[in-house]
A = this chain, B = another copy of it.
């Protein structure tokens, strides 16, 4: 499928084959930098950076200049119309009429989706809160591919802040897509969020195993291993998933150690900050002497703070400056493909990743809103025009996923629009785990975040809903 005029908001927006196409073109462009100056001559890229950045913005801008294109840039939210209260939709529509492509970084999760929905030109997500950062993931995968030829079957340890690191969230899904195994090694309290684990298992196949304390010791892994993701040995064969012994799988050490800094700017509680005091795992020369890391590439999306010691810089396993440097050809390739300035190479392998499931859509003007306080749909300036919208990703337990921030949650109360059509006294709500919940057809489903929410919308407790229970 052609990439022309497409958006890149999450890693799900590119298939395995499309990512390979980007890598292939990046290879070609790396080898012929000086010849790319006409590729996007006359095209204008808008960089809208509403959050601090050096690396990512400069990397995108350098990429566009090396393609012969021009750049218009906002690098500070305070100096823009956002200070006057403008919505993302308006910004998207207007900037989309000035530029041929938009790159957006924003602190709100799902912001890039909104911009993509409203702009008439291709939109690239350069990081939206703690949600995703897909072009960083392309640099990461490209580095793995250049160094190891094949990503399939690699064992990658993800290290540090796995909760707020958007680069981690994008990377997890992409590694699963490429068939890599993952070891989750979070700083205590900064584990991979449940909704990511759920999506990983449900949509990418494979299996996540929690590592219990005794296993942590016997596995011989010298770092705080929390869980392991094992890719299905080949796609679409979940049923054949073998029961694996972690110690055996890890026996030969890891292929890469992907280190991240604590994303303190996204911490919600002061406990998270305090819990970190002196406990954040540090990768240094000493650690890398371990046999398990003998051939481990040391990766980091940068910037680093203290979690990656400078004494590692000279080590040939250090990949982080290469990851950064490769950001230019990767972004050149991506921009050129989305602008249609280059066609996808014909030699791209067939797509082998699992197709995304078609979940039922949930959208109503009332009832539950996304409970993620960082979600774009909850912000005052955006709620004026954005309707809450979810995918029903599971019926048991009933789980909804926000289409903007992809946060998943389990509503407590439900009702059916079918039951009370026209009859006011039939407007009754039930607990989401009750017998009744399973009877409701997706298109009739109404969910409520709380009893108060349900009653505010004129619903009464269902017949089988114990008063005590409902009132709690």
Please give the residue numbers on chain A whose beta carbons come within 8 Å of chain B beta carbons, in ascending order.
34, 37, 41-42, 44, 46, 48-49, 52-55, 58-59, 61-62, 65-66, 68, 70-72, 74-76, 78-86, 89-91, 93-95, 97-99, 261, 265, 302-306, 310, 313, 321, 324-325, 327-328, 384-385
Contact = CB atoms under 8 A, between A and B. Distances in A.
A129 to B, nearest CB: 15
B75 A52 contact: no
B66 A302 contact: no
Given A34-B42, A85-B305, A79 B52 contact: yes
Contacts of A78: 52, 76
21 contacts: A34-B42, A37-B41, A52-B80, A54-B80, A54-B94, A62-B98, A71-B72, A75-B79, A76-B79, A84-B265, A85-B305, A86-B304, A89-B310, A90-B303, A90-B304, A93-B321, A94-B325, A97-B324, A98-B327, A310-B385, A313-B385
B72 A65 contact: yes
Contact of A83 (B52, B58, B68, B304): B52
Nearest to A36: B42
Per assembly, the copies of the chain total 3
Contacts of A80: 52-54
A76 B76 contact: yes
Contacts of A90: 302-304
Q: Give 9 nearest A-B pairs by CB, closest first.
A: A97-B325, A65-B70, A86-B303, A310-B385, A62-B98, A54-B81, A54-B80, A76-B79, A61-B72
A303 B61 contact: no
B85 A58 contact: no
A441 B83 CA distance: 50
A68 B68 CA distance: 11
A92 to B, nearest CB: 10
A269 to B, nearest CB: 20
Contacts of A303: 81, 84-86, 90
